[in-house]
Amino acid sequence: MTHPKEATARKPLPRFDEAEGLGPSDAAFVRDLVEVLEKHGNLDRFGLSLLHDHFPLAPDEVMVETNDSVRRTLHAHVEKKRQTRHVKPSQWRFAPHGTEPAEGGSYQVVMLCDPLDLCPGREGHHP
């Protein structure tokens, strides 16, 4: 998720209703991606998500994911990066070659989760 004032050469993300999902024209891309994931032993570790914005986030904000396994619901809300206690990234956005996000590296964290706070995978655990 992006903020309109963020200094970046990247194209802003589309709203969810405007974002184009995978289709038949993406078959070669998906095959190549599967091949790379298999090569590095990550086929059962990573997948794809549709990058989109529901609303803008400021550069000092991050989306946080929690769930309730009893009610079988997922929840996402915004927190300040420096104040969140959610520490486990669960979604990333890749940076184009030659550019690096403020966090450094070749990706930007776009969603955080805390396994102690009902992130996916904590079956039977609830507040």
For 7-41, the pLDDT digits (tens) are 445 678 899 899 999 999 999 999 999 999 999 99
Any alpha helices (H) in the chain, and if so which ranges? 27-39
Q: How many structural domains are present in the chain?
A: 2
Residues 48 and 26 in one domain: yes
Residues 116 and 61 in one domain: yes
Residues 92 and 119 in one domain: yes
Residues 65 and 127 in one domain: yes
Residues 107 and 83 in one domain: yes
Residues 107 and 125 in one domain: yes
Q: Is residue 125 one of the residues assigned to a domain? A: yes
Q: Is residue 70 one of the residues assigned to a domain? A: yes
Q: What is the pTM of this model?
A: 0.67
Q: Which of 53, 69, 86 is the last residue of a domain?
A: 53
Q: What was the pLDDT predicted at 40?
A: 97
Residues 41 and 63 in one domain: no
Q: What is the rounded CA–CA span in Å between residue 42 and residue 49?
A: 15
Residues of the domain holding 40? 12-53
pLDDT in tens, the chain (127 residues): 444 444 445 678 899 899 999 999 999 999 999 999 999 999 999 999 888 888 888 989 988 888 887 888 888 899 998 888 877 888 888 877 666 555 557 877 878 886 655 555 545 444 4
Listed in sequence order, the residues at least 6 apart from 84 whose beta carbon sits closer than 8 Å to its beta carbon are 62, 64, 112
Instruction: Give the pair of three-digit tokens for residue 29.
Output: 């891309």
Residues 61 and 94 in one domain: yes
